[in-house]
Amino acid sequence: MKRRVVITGLGMVTPIGSGVDDFYQALITGRNGVGRVTHFDPSEYSSQMAAEVRDFNPLDYMDKRKLKTMDRFAQFAFAAAKLALEDSGMDMESVNGDRFGVFIGSGNGGNRAIQDEWQVLCEKGPSRVSPRFITKVLINMVASHVSIEWGLRGPILSISNACSTANHSIGSAFRIIQYNEADMMLAGGAEAAITELPYAGFCALRAMSQRNDDLEHASRPFDKERDGFVMGEGSGVILIEELEHARARGAKIYAELVGYGSTADAYHLVAPPPDGGGATRAMQLALDDASIEKEKVTYVSAHGTATPLNDKTETVALKRVFGDHARRIAVSATKSMFGHLLGGASGVEMSAVCLAFEHGVIPPTINYEVPDPECDLDFVPNEAREARVDYVMCNSFGFGGLNAVIVLKRFT
């Protein structure tokens, strides 16, 4: 028998707010986290905006000694994990570390450390490269830092599946608990890719918005005038538990995880197939795993990157899966507010969904101004909407044709 799994803690570090209260207020007011890049001079880049985490002080979450061992992406994840544990009310002194695991990944890893140490190598030679370099850039070090800090000795894994990383991490952690390999898991993703080299690479792909004269409206998922995504940074980590374990400690339960579907497009490295085949199958697998009729889903947290192809293809896939019911579903893209956190995106989006369950408010898709005939669903334009939701689908798709879809249920 598969065990029931619930979400009991939320942690996020984002361009629009960190911690549950600030993040929720940002969501319902449609706060925009996009501005001109400040991490470096973007003047020579075709895209010059990003959603940066501007108020993050890592020393609020760790001491100076630990800080020296982490790249920025790991700092974000460590902080998000700490916030999730605090939100959960977990008594860490009484936790059985053998039954507590960590699945936190990243799409890019330690970009800043790579660039900085390469410069040291070129200018000063190999003997001056930091001994901390390797442990700063390895993606698995995120989960390792969290594991070591809190003595979590259960399963540990750092998935690197591009923009679907966090959903794949959460879905995999869900399975671990379902099949009794652990009772608790911290799961999600983190990214800090707003550095010169990866930013230039995405510019070269022409994947990012070039709306440099209108930064606040640059991230516009599903809008006809969208011209690419806006890069964000940050982390989303959630605590998930086996239901009876959560009940025994009197935990607050945000939602229940009930379905997970994962597929590959097997089509192209950066473009989805026009028929949305891989996304369609992942959505259907998640619904089948949840054992629910499609009509029960009334809200979809969209991948919604604001790239011309992805938004169109996601719309096609939603119509294929839900048929006529697709037009009765609220579909919102929170990347419109905090940009695309790449490997951390769906971890933050999962928290937004949990808060929609708790408060009965669906976050909006901001900057939605010009309807696109090829994206013709209800995208909750510009203003949050009061609505009770009982089942929610969370979509996440990544470069390489990677699709991860999770279905959540209101806990009863």
Residue 348: name the closest of 358, 335, 361 by CA. 335
> Which candidate in 168, 245, 340, 375 is catalytic?
340
Distance CA 35, CA 410 (A): 35
Residue 305: name the closest of 398, 409, 206 by CA. 398
CA trace torsion 286, 333, 186, 194 (10° rounding): 130
Contact predicate 246/6, CB 8 Å: yes
User: Where are the alpha helices (H) located in 89-232, listed in sequence order?
Assistant: 111-124, 133-137, 141-150, 165-178, 196-205
> Which candidate in 145, 168, 245, 303 is catalytic?
303
41: left (phi over 0), alpha (psi -120 to 50) or beta: beta
163 is catalytic: yes
- 301 vs 83, 120, 149, CA distance in Å? 22, 43, 32
Question: Encoding tokens for residue 22?
Answer: 């600030």
375 is catalytic: no
Distance of CA 305 to the CA centre of its chain: 12
340 is catalytic: yes
Question: Encoding tokens for residue 407?
Answer: 């279905």
- 390 vs 60, 87, 251, 364, CA distance in Å? 36, 22, 20, 18
Question: Encoding tokens for residue 388?
Answer: 């009770």
> Which candidate in 145, 163, 354, 375 is catalytic?
163
Residue 406: name the closest of 269, 236, 249 by CA. 236
Distance CA 401, CA 106 (A): 17
Contact predicate 363/384, CB 8 Å: yes
Just list the catalytic residues.
Answer: 163, 303, 340
